[in-house]
Amino acid sequence: MELTNTIIAVDFDNTLCFSNWPELGEPNLPLISYLQQQKASGSKIILWTCRAGKPLEDALIWCEHQGLSFDAINDNLPEIIELYGNNSRKITCDIYIDDRNMKLEELVGVS
C-alpha cells in the first residue's frame, strides 16, 4: 500500500482555537482556512489533542461550527494502521501543527 495523501496532525488549544483550557475561544481563522484548503486538495487531517471526554466533545462541536472535519481524532488513520500492522501511540503524519513544537534547527542551532 502506498500513501499518496499528505497527513496533517493539528492540535486544538492555542492552535486551532485561542483558548484557556477547558474554555473555548476565538478561532485561528488563517489556520482553519489552510486546513480546509488542504482537505479539499485530498490531505488527511487528524485532530491531535490532549482533550478527552466532555472537553473533547466540546472541541469537536466547536470545530464542526468552524467547518472543520477530521479523518481521525487522537488516533492514526486506518490506512496507517493497516500499512504498519499496528497502531503506534505516536501519530504518523507528514506535518504536525502545534503551538508548542520546535524544529530541531531551532532547538540546537543546526541547519
21-68 pLDDT tens trace = 899 999 999 999 999 999 999 999 999 999 999 999 999 999 999 999
The answer to the question of residue 58 being in a domain is: yes
- Residue 77 maps to which CATH number? 3.40.50.1000
Query: Model's pTM, two decimal places?
Result: 0.90
Can you give the residue range of the structural domain that contains 68?
16-87
- Collapsing DSSP states into helix, strand and coil, what is residue 32? helix
- Collapsing DSSP states into helix, strand and coil, what is residue 7? strand
The answer to the question of residue 53 being in a domain is: yes
The answer to the question of residue 108 being in a domain is: no
- How many domains, in total, are found in the chain? 1
The answer to the question of residue 99 being in a domain is: no
For residues 97 and 13, the answer to whether their CB atoms sit within 8 Å is: no
Q: What average pLDDT does the chain have?
A: 93
